[in-house]
Structure formats: C-alpha cells, structure tokens
Amino acid sequence: MTTTESDGPMTTEATPQVATVGPRTLAWQRRRHSAVRFWRQYRTHRAGVFGLAALSLFALIALTAPLTVGSDVQSVTGAPGGPMESPSARFPLGTDQFGRNLLGLVVWGARVSLLVGLLAAVLSVAIGALIGITAGHFRGWYATVIMRITDWFLVMPTLVLAIALMTVMSRSIGTIILAIGVTTWPTTARLVRAQTLAVESRPYIERAKALGGGHWHIMSRHVLPNVMPLVLAQTTLIISSAILAEATLAFLGLGDPTVVSWGGLLQDAREAGAVSAGKWWYLVPPGVAIAVVALAFTLCGRAVESVLNPKLGVTR
Amino acid sequence: MNRHDQPNRGRLRLRLLAAAGAAALTLTAGLATPLNPAPQQAQAKGSQQATESKKEGKKVLTVAVAQSVDSLSPFLASRLLSTSIHRLMYEYLTNYDPADNHTVPGLATKWEPSADKLTWTYTIRSNSKWSDGQQATAQDAAWTFNKMMTDQGAATANGSFVTNFRKVTAPSPTQLVIELKKPQATMGALDVPIVPQHIWEKVKDFSKFNNDQSFPIVGNGPFVLTAYKADSYVRLKPNKTFWRGAPKFDELVFKYFKDQDAAVAALRKGEVSFVAGSPALTPAQAASLKGEPNIKVNDAPGRRFYALATNPGAQAKDGKHFGDGAESLLNQKVRQALFMAIDRKTLIDKVFQGHAVEGAGYIPPRFSTYHWKPSASQELAYDPAKAAQLLDAAGYKKNADGKRVEKNGKPIDYRILCHATDPNDKAVGQYVKEWFGKLGIGVTLNCLDNVTDPWLAGKYDLAFDGWSVNPDPDFVLSIHTCGALPATPKDTGATDNFICDKKYDELYDQQLAEYDTAKRADLVKQMESRLYDTGYMNVMAYPNAVEAYRTDQIKSIETMPKAAGNIYGQDGYWSWWSAVPADASGASSDGSSSTGVIIGIVAGVVALVGVGAFFAMRRRATAEDRE
C-alpha cells in the first residue's frame, strides 16, 4: 500500500521533473525516496532505534568473533582455566565446567544463535508467504485444503512439534533451523493471505488480468510487492521468537552438544549443577544475551511494522 | 547387573516439563512475578503435610531418585533402582556382608555341596514369613528356580544363573536341593529374588506381568511395597516381622526428581532426606553441599565402570550379521589406537574432578580380589603419536584433507551413542571428539534419550557404556560371551555389546567351574586381560558414588563396604534397613517449613496488595477521566 506502483502521489509529483529519464531510473528514484521516507519515520521511534543499535552491536560482535576470540575458545582440551572459576581479571565472566572462558563462549555463541534465528525466521516467513499468497490467489478447494492444514499447524503446540521433529532427525544446526522453520509459519500464512485477498480485490488487478496477466505475473508482480512490507515486519518479529526457540531446544538438550550456543550454554550450566551451586556467572551472561537480542529484534519489528502499516501509523 | 543406561520415554517427558518450566523461568526472569507465589504456596503446603506427619510421630525416609523403574517383576527388572527395590521386597538365598562383601545367610541359613560339587543343599530358615502371613519355604525357592528354567519369559533378567541347573527340588519345607550339570562357582551368590509361589503361580505371561497390579505386594524382605506410581514415587512400609529385625523408619519413599539440581534444592530445604548418587552429584553440587550444615556428602569409590564400547560388528547366534558399525573398527589395531588416543587421566581431573578413579581393567578396584591392571608393557597408555603410527600401519592413512579414510575411500566419521540424560557422556564426548579429531578421525556425538533402539539394532560405532558390578563378577562377565548374543537379529540377547571371542568364552567357562577363589580370580583376571587386548571395551573411569543426606533426619546409615562405601544401590538392603532416624524430630526442618509458610503468606499478601493497588489506580484513572 505504501511503496507500490498503485501509490499515486509520489509518482505523479515526480513525473513532470524527470520527463526525460527512462522508467527504470524512475523506479529507482522512487524506491530511494521511499527508503529515505521510511528511515525518517523509523527514526522517530526511539525504541526502534535502540533495538537497531543493539542489533548492530551484536551483529558486529558475531561477525568479528573469529578475529576477537577465535574458534579455539570452544576447545575443551585446550581450556585455559579451572572448572567454574568465578569472574576475575583474566576471565571477566568466569569459566565454564571445562575451564573455558565464558566471555569468549558467549561471544562465539552469538554466531550460532543469530544464524539459527535469522535462517529459521527466513525459512518460516518464506513458507508462510508462499502458502499465504497462493491460498489468497487461487481460492477454491486449494485454499480450503491449504488453510485447514495451516489451522492444524496453528493449533499444534509449536514447541512439542519442534521437539518431535528434533528427536526423529539427526542433531545438527540444520535440523534446528528446519524444526523451527516448519513449525512457526502458520501465523505468517494467515496474515499474508488476508493481505493478498485485500490486494486482489483492487481494480488494477482486474485490469492486469484483462491485459492478459497470468497467475504468476499477478502473484509476483502485483501481490508480492504489496505484501512485502508485512512480510518484512513479520520476519523481524519472528527472528526473536526463533532465537528463543533455538535457545529453548538447546536448553532441553536437543541441540548438538558440541556446538556452542546460548541455549546450549544454559543447558551445560544446568547439567553441571551451576544452579544449585550458585555459580551465577555461568547462567546470567547467556540468559541476558538471549533476552537482549530477542528484545532488540522485537523493538525493531514493532517499529518497522508501525512505519509500514498505515493502520498503525495513523495513530502516531 | 543393574544397567544404568536406557532411560525411558516417561522420563523424557518429565524432564522436558521440568526443563521447560526452568527455561520459562530463566527466559522470563523479570516477568515471572505472578508465577512466583504459586510454587512457594505449594511448597508451604507440602511442608505442612510433612509437619502433620511428624506430629503423628511418623518418621519418613525420603530418597530422591531419577531412574525409572523398568519393571517391578523380579523376573524382568534389570535397572539399578528396580533391583535395589527387589532387595528390599524379597529375600535372596544368600546376601553379601556389608563390611567386606563375603557371603552371609539370607533366606538360606546354610548351604553345602556334595562331594562331586554337583548337588547343593540349602537349609531354608523357618522364621521368615510372607507379608500375608504364610510361611516362606523351600518350596517357594524351588518353584522360583523351576519357573526360570522352564519359562523363557521368567528367565529374562536372571536367566544366566540357572542355565547350568539340572534339577531343583524341595524335599522338605526347610531343604532345597539344586543339581547342576557342571560345577558352578556362583552357588553361594545366586542373586535371584525368591517369590511366593501361592501368589506368582497365578501369573500367566511372565514376559508381560510387571507386578504392579495389587498393593501391598506380598514379600518377605525388610520392607513391603505399598504403593507405586510410575515416575512419581515408590512407597515401602517396614516389615515388622522381618527375621533380622524391623527397619527403624516408619516409611521409605523413593521420590522422583528428574532434575538433579531440583533434588539438591529439595535436600537443602529438608524435603528429602537423601539424594541418590545415580547419576552421581556433579562436582559443583558436591562442593556446594559440603559447606551446608546438617548435610553429609558421601563420596565413596563406586561399584561401576564407565567405558567406551566398540561395535564389534553386531551379530546373532545364528551367525547373521546386522547393524552398520564402521568397517575400520573390526581391525584390532584401530581399536587399540583409539585406546591410546584417550587421555584417561585428563578425564578424571577435568570431567570427574577427582570424583572417580582412572580406568584400567574391567572390574573396579573396589572388588580387589578380581580387579586387574595391565602391566606396563601391555598397557595402551595415552600416546597420540603411537596411535597415529598404529593407524598408518593398519592402512588407514590420511587423505589430502588430513582425514583418515576407510578402505572404501570414505572419510572415517564415528557415531558415538551417548545418553542425553548423563552429563558425563556429553562432557567426555567433547574431549573424545577433539582427541580423535587430532588423529584425523571425525566424531558425531549422537546423544539420545532412548539409546536402546539403535543399540539393540547394532546401529552405532562407539557407545558410552556402564554397569554396576556385583561382588561376584559372574554376571558382568557373562554379558560378553557368545552365549549372550541374541538368537536372531530380531531377538534381544543378554549381551552388552555383541562381543563374541572364543578365547574369552573358554576362560569364562573355566572360571564358572572353578570353586577355588584364588584360582578363579586368576582366571577372571585373564579374561579381563583378554578383553583389554581386544580393545572392545575401553574402561575410562570407575566413577565414585557421590551422594548426600541430611544428618538431622538420618542419624546413621550403613555404607557398603563399611570403610568408604556407597549407600544407594548396594548389593543388599543394608543401608535402608539400618538407617536410624534422628531423635530431635528435625528442629531445623520445622523451622524451614514455618519459613515456607511465612514466605507463602507474605507473598500472598504482597500479591493481594499489588492487585488492590492496581485496581485502585485504575479506578482513580477512570474517575479522573470522567472529570
């Protein structure tokens, strides 16, 4: 609704000035304009800016981890400290049960947690968008069948389904991504379908059909760009729940025990008896990291949503 | 006997629930205020009940356990908790002395062989009664053994004891006669619970009957089982007419805590009197409990070995091979190289943090008669360079990527079967992965809640393995003989790891027929030496039994052996039978229960005030709005 061909005002304003340039340049100009406008509006959401800053920081930490801590930090045979040492100058967050540096592990764990969160969210939203658009476009028996399947997945407890998937497949990061991705898509599918129905009822879709636009053309050229803002906001929101789901699954011991992730660290801490022994430094850093990143993604997602969704934007 | 592995599905579910709860608490730490009062109130309620029962003067010994009961039928049970409970419910013919493990009278007062040692006559005591009032006689014992000899289903758990029996009769109520096919050294250590014939002859299918239909269960041990709920509790009442004397506590309860940390917290609060060291308390838990008042940590040499078992190419008695164990592991040199790649000392220092003894032979040093250690020349000590040489010599060379390859050219990647419920498996697995990685061998840790299925199907390369050893080692030795293999690939055999070695089997038959203890011990040591050389079982450690109990609830309790022994999972009923309750009926635990009540009340009041304030604010807000 906001960034599409059908949106009149910007295009008509721009046309007289750039009468000489081709349609491609025009499109790019328009996109740049809308990006600038998006950013200008986004900046007004202070929480969103805070979330973005926190995310950039974590992304930077995760990307530079090979340079700052190095993959040796995971090695148990080369662990530098004693088991569960309390925080000191040498180990600012103490050590884990093997004597590994916990600060390094939390930094290294950010890579897995963020990677799984991002990929699982992308997978989930991709499935949801595909199903939502096709169900909204084709209607009829196809939509009925597909939406009943969606309903079925919607009422299934996500965690239980993910655990069931994890237990039948081999333990790896790919499995976790798949398990989260294929269990969290129904809400996206429902949202996207509703938006698709709204878009397809507009007259220009009818015009496109009259001009000979096929199913693929309508869905990819007209519907998809219109539901994209929704999909984008949904992705940002799902990332935080995917990160939480990854941490939960790892905490339940369903992850690969040799891979360092935040949830895995919590699981290690629990199994080593750190909770009853009062070794807080083993539990708090990964827990705080999970909470902060999940919060940051939620803040970003909410801000993106309120910028892109006119219904939410009006009240602001 | 007493297998430690293979937890079941029920256990998984409870663990998940507990863990999910814990996860929810961790992840929503700041938000959980509405959740907080609830557990405190529940706890206050629990301690109120405890106080009430104390007022009646009832002394309850509560033991926190984690392992599920596989079956309450003595013919089927093989897990440590189940067999320990059977020790409490039923008398065995003989028992082991708690001080030094020598055989002492149980249901039998006397046992002696004929001159050719093929006929054994047991005198059955006349002062043992079943809990329904009937006399326990030799006929019950004869019936139990005959059932195991004739019914395949009744031989599931303890069949190895009776395979050599020719005939068992009871000429009189106090006399049991067992005729053997061949001499058998374990006649003084028949670890078989004797069941009442008049109850059990009604059972139709022994392979399915779990003995959990009607309570109390009729028995003649020091305790009578009165109630059982899977993965919740097992309740036992003392048998007041027990011939050795009645136990001192008024009730013995095994209560389930699927999370070891939760059990430790319950011990601190006085909700449980004892935390079973199975799995052992972690070093961090033991260290933090050592400083607590009124809590004693018992850290004793264990009766268990902890090994990395190799799939020797799973096979059945009919000669059919099955499973998908790695080809390279069939090579003895490769297995020995894997031995040399593992630094057992580091594992003791880092993973067990001193709460274990470095592994060597198959039988733990606690059973000194049968314990064996490799000589310096025979020992496969930690030596990665030599391990690499061995692998090169065996033809498993590194490829361009630095990975060793199978004969078919594929990189070696061993799947290690590990128990998701045992933290040690995961920790040791990480070390093994790095050590093998340096040799150019890939490792995939396959941690499962139910390892039984891939294990029985032979679908693994290496596996973490561990058994509790009895004072008489016959059982743990028998599980590596060819005779223990499953009849066909579809059957379940008594075998631990599909090992079938001709030389080992010859020695096994010899030791079983040897009545002279010194000579038998020598043969057993030769077996251990042979097993070590084959490289099938890499015994990495003998973990200690690390357990803890409240001294303000248990005044004294017997360890086995007396000097530095374990309490939970003994070869006998000594610990629970001998436990003496503390006299001053737990002043401190009363205190803690009243604090629980106070906390509950305070939390309730705070919650009420909060809710009240919230509504007051709301009302004011609406009032302001109206203005």
Q: Which two tokens stand for residue B225?
A: 């089982």
CA dihedral B357, B359, B360, B362 (to 10 degrees): 110
pLDDT score of B573 more than 50: yes
Domains parsed from chain B with CATH numbers: 60-301+546-581 (3.40.190.10), 304-543 (3.10.105.10)
Contact between B566 and B559 under an 8 Å Cβ cutoff? The reply is yes
Q: Is the dihedral of CA A303, A309, A310, A315 positive or negative?
A: negative
Q: What is the reported pLDDT for B158?
A: 84
- B220 compared with B422, residue with greater pLDDT: B220
First to last CA, chain A: 18
Closest chain B residue to A256 measured between Cα atoms? B445
Residue B517 has pLDDT above 90, yes or no: no
pLDDT digits (tens, 9 = 90+) for B79-132: 888 999 999 999 999 999 888 888 899 999 999 889 888 899 999 999 999 999
pLDDT band at B142 (very low <50, low <70, confident <90, very high): very high
Size of interface A-B (CB pairs under 8 A): 102
Question: What are the pLDDT digits (tens) for A207-216?
Answer: 998 998 889 9
What is the arithmetic mean of pLDDT over B183-198?
A: 89
User: A222 lies in which domain range?
Assistant: 46-70+97-312
Where residue B344 falls (left for φ over 0; alpha for ψ -120 to 50; beta otherwise) is alpha
* Residues ≥6 apart with Cβ < 8 Å to B594: none
Q: Give the helix/strand (H/E) hosting B452.
A: helix B452-456
Amino acid identity of residue B444, one-letter, is T
| Interface probe with A: pick from B13, B282, B289, B426, most Cβ of A within 10 Å | B282
Between B144 and B19, name the one with better pLDDT.
B144
Q: Pull the structure tokens for residue B399.
A: 């490829």
CATH at residue A132: 1.10.3720.10
Residue B614's pLDDT band (cuts 50, 70, 90): low
Could you tell me which residues come within 8 angstroms of residue A83 by beta carbon, excluding any fewer than 6 positions away?
A95, A96, A97, A98, A99, B283, B284, B350, B353
- Residue linked to tokens 């900046």: A43
**pLDDT value for A259:** 85
Verify whether the Cβ–Cβ distance B431 to A291 is below 8 Å.
Answer: no
Residue A87 placed within a domain: no
Residues in chain B with CB shorter than 8 Å from the CB of A170 are 444, 446
In this predicted structure, the answer to whether residue B315 has a pLDDT above a threshold of 70 is yes
Q: Is the pLDDT of residue B9 over 80?
A: no
Query: Do strands B356-358 and B580-581 pair parallel, antiparallel, or not at all (unpaired)?
Result: unpaired
Domain-embedded: residue A187: yes
Contact B26 A266 (CB under 8 A): yes
Nearest to A147 by CA among A205, A155, A217: A155
Q: How many domains does one find in chain A?
A: 1
Q: Report the DSSP beta bridge partners of residue B305.
A: B467
Q: Which of A152-161, B134-143, B485-494, B499-508 has the lowest mean pLDDT?
A: B485-494
Q: Does A211 fall in a domain?
A: yes
Alpha-carbon distance of B531 to B265, in angstroms, equals 42
Q: Which of residues 77-96 of A touch B (CB under 8 A)?
A: 77, 79, 83-84
Statement: residue B24 has pLDDT above 70 = no
What pLDDT score was predicted for residue A77? 85
Q: Structure tokens of B11?
A: 């256990």
Nearest C-alpha in A relative to B262: A276
CA distance linking residue A42 with residue A31, whole number of Å: 16
pLDDT level of residue B272 (50, 70, 90 thresholds) = very high
Question: How far is residue A34's CA from residue A9's CA, in Å, rounded to a whole number?
Answer: 12
Q: And the tokens for A132?
A: 């939502």
Contact residues on chain B for A83, CB-CB shorter than 8 A: 283-284, 350, 353
Give how far Cα B391 sits from Cα of A52, A197, B267, B339, Å.
53, 66, 50, 12
Q: Does residue A277 lie within any of the structural domains?
A: yes
Phi, psi of A256 (to 5 degrees): -80, 115
At B396-419, the pLDDT tens digits run 888 888 888 888 888 899 999 988
Specify the pLDDT at position B611: 57
Q: Which run of H or of E encompasses B226?
A: strand B223-229
A162 CB near a chain B CB, below 8 Å? no
- Do residues A283 and A269 make contact, with C-beta atoms less than 8 angstroms apart? yes
Inter-chain residue contact B26 with A248, CB threshold 8 Å: no
Region B145-171: what's the mean pLDDT?
88
What is the separation of C-alpha B219 from the centre of its chain, rounded to a whole number of angstroms? 23
What 3-state class would DSSP assign to B169? strand
Which residues of B fall below an 8 Å CB-CB distance to A? 16, 19-20, 22-23, 26-27, 29, 259-261, 264-265, 268, 281-285, 287-288, 346, 350, 353, 420, 423, 426-427, 429-431, 433-435, 444-447, 449
Contacts of A77 in chain B (CB under 8 A): 346, 431, 434-435
A23 domain-assigned: no
Average pLDDT of B291-298? 89
3-state class (DSSP) for residue B397: coil
| Min Cα–Cα distance to chain A from B399, Å | 24
- The C-alpha atoms of residue B511 and residue B508 are separated, in whole angstroms, by 5
Is residue B322 within 8 A of residue B360, CB to CB? The reply is no
Does A271 map to a domain?
A: yes
CA closest to A292 among chain B residues: B27
Residue B526, pLDDT score: 92
Predicted pLDDT at B414: 92
Which residue from B590, B550, B62 is spatially nearest to B292, judged by alpha carbons?
B550
Tens digit of each residue's pLDDT, chain A (316 residues): 444 444 444 444 444 454 567 888 888 888 899 889 888 888 888 899 999 999 999 999 999 988 888 888 888 888 888 888 888 888 888 888 888 888 999 999 999 889 988 999 999 999 999 999 999 998 889 999 999 999 998 888 888 888 888 878 877 888 889 988 988 899 999 999 999 999 989 998 889 989 988 899 999 888 888 888 888 888 888 888 888 888 888 888 787 888 888 988 888 888 888 888 888 889 899 999 999 998 999 899 888 888 877 665 444 4
Cβ contact B16–A252 (<8 Å): yes
Say if residue B234's pLDDT is above 80: yes
Measured between alpha carbons, how far is B524 from B503 in angstroms, rounded to an integer?
A: 12
